[in-house]
């Protein structure tokens, strides 16, 4: 089958680790318009194709394809022109079950809202707007969760994610053909990932594990190797904080790294950073240092659109590199390097990213305790953890806080400062739970 412009464009974007919004900013052009070009719903100009080649390093490949590939009209009967079909009995039961599940979480879908959805469906059909045309809106929703994940308390985020995932299920149940399109798998994976992370943050590892499986399957089915690696990296990192067996996590990380494409990707550096943290925790400092060096080399080769993204969980900016360094130095006892990594990481972080600021300071405190500065390290951890709002004391924050207490040597555990800190931890993290 001859290569097409849209396929080549998507392949280059995946290889370079650059998404629709990031590429649109570089061109510059409208992200919605670019999404339609990627889906072969719109034809672009030769000037824009040349710009794509320049940004993505296509070497003229896209311009040549644009010249030689004729734009094909979307035939009647494809996803874009599909006629909405009524829900069958099984679909209706599934719809009611999902609405009931939302109600249990405190998310209600009023009859009026359902009616408005039905009216919109009819209007969209009348003007020839299929669900595939809403794909760019869902991609924007995924991007928004990337930004709100660290700022919104997990309990609130859980409700919003649940509602949107039900909406995705509703869309694909009415348009079965959508279920097998890579772009919809990518959107589903992009929503399942923060759901898994949120459940993990709420200290629900069993529920999270099921969502990790869903996110990984969707990412793998999207044919986007970077997203697949990214989900794997996130899963490994959360496994580290959930205290899953280190030997299991390291075996998984090694297998993923061995099978990963050699090209520098944000997903690959994510997996290798998790591996470095595991090695440091297990006392393999020389191997952890080697992985840190590899992460630094990959970081230098990542596109600026990835390394400049400081606010989204889908970016890999310098603060992630410093965070990984701080973790490793906190275990190796290198206080100078630890303090420098924490200071640089905090400098690169947005001021309102309170959770990660707290995590960096707790790592610093744990490192100081391990190096023998027990009283000062515990005092620092006490101040940081106490100042963290209860609803934002996520699994990662609380896990790092416990590491400080666990690092206290036996001879110092009866000191008043240590006892006071243990009482603070024993009071609970205060984060909302699922009952």
Domain ranges of the chain: 5-73, 95-215, 224-350
Q: What is the separation, in whole angstroms, between the first and last Cα of the chain?
A: 53
HSE toward the beta carbon, residue 272, CA cutoff 13 A: 26
Listed in sequence order, the residues at least 6 apart from 378 whose beta carbon sits closer than 8 Å to its beta carbon are 365, 369, 404, 405, 408, 417, 418, 421
Q: What is each CA distance from 175 to 80, 152, 196, in whole angstroms?
A: 10, 32, 26
Class of CATH domain 5-73:
mainly alpha
The H or E element spanning position 25 is helix 20-26
| Ordered per-residue pLDDT tens for the chain, 435 residues | 578 888 899 889 888 888 888 888 888 777 777 887 888 777 888 888 898 999 999 999 999 888 886 444 333 333 333 434 444 444 555 555 656 666 666 665 555 555 665 666 666 656 555 555 567 788 889 999 999 998 899 999 999 999 888 888 777 766 665 556 788 889 999 999 999 999 999 999 999 999 999 999 999 999 899 999 999 999 999 999 999 998 999 999 999 999 998 889 999 999 999 999 999 999 999 999 999 999 999 999 999 989 999 989 999 999 999 999 999 999 998 899 999 999 999 999 999 999 999 999 999 999 999 999 999 999 999 999 999 999 999 999 999 999 999 999 999 999 999 999 999 999 865 555 565
Burial class (CB in 10 A: 0-12, 13-18, 19+), 242: middle
Pair 380, 407: CB distance under 8 Å? no
Q: Which of 275, 105, 311, 356 is nearest to 207 (CA)?
A: 105
Give dist(CA 17, CA 406) in Å, integer. 39
């Amino acid at each position: 089958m001859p290569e097409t412009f849209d396929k080549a464009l998507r392949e280059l974007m995946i290889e370079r680790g650059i998404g629709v919004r990031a590429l649109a900013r570089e061109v510059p052009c409208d992200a919605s318009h670019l999404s339609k070009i990627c889906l072969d719903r719109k034809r672009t100009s030769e000037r824009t194709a040349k710009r794509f080649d320049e940004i993505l390093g296509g070497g003229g490949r896209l311009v040549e394809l644009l010249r030689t590939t004729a734009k094909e009209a979307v035939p009647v009967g494809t996803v874009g022109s599909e006629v909405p079909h009524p829900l069958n009995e099984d679909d209706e039961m599934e719809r009611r079950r999902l609405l009931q599940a939302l109600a249990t979480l405190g998310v209600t879908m009023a009859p009026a809202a359902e009616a408005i959805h039905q009216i919109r469906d009819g209007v969209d059909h009348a003007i020839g707007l299929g669900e595939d045309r809403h794909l760019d809106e869902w991609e924007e929703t995924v991007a928004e969760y990337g930004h709100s994940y660290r700022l919104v308390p997990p309990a609130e985020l859980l409700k919003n994610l649940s509602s949107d995932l039900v909406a995705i299920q509703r869309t694909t149940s009415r348009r079965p053909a959508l279920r097998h399109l890579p772009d919809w798998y990518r959107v589903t994976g992009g929503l399942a990932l923060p759901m898994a992370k949120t459940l993990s943050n709420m200290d629900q590892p069993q529920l999270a594990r099921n969502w990790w499986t869903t996110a990984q399957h969707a990412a793998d089915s999207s044919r986007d190797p970077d997203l697949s690696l990214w989900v794997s990296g996130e899963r490994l990192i959360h496994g580290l904080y959930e205290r899953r067996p280190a030997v299991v996590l390291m075996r998984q990380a090694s297998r993923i790294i061995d099978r990963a494409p050699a090209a520098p990707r944000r997903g690959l550096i994510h997996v290798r950073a998790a591996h470095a943290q595991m090695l440091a925790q297990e006392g393999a400092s020389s191997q952890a240092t080697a992985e840190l060096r590899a992460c630094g080399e990959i970081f230098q080769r990542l596109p600026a659109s990835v390394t400049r993204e400081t606010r989204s969980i889908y970016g890999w900016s310098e603060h992630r590199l410093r965070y990984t360094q701080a973790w490793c130095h906190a275990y190796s006892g290198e206080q100078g390097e630890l303090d420098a990594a924490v200071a640089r990481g905090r400098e690169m972080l947005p001021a309102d990213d309170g959770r990660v600021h707290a995590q960096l300071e707790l790592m610093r405190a744990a490192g100081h305790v391990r190096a023998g500065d027990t009283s000062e390290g515990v005092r620092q951890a006490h101040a940081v953890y106490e100042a963290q709002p209860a609803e934002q004391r996520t699994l990662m924050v609380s896990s790092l806080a416990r590491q400080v207490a666990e690092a206290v040597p036996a001879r110092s555990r009866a000191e008043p400062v240590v006892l006071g800190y243990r009482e603070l931890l024993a009071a609970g993290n205060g984060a909302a739970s699922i009952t």
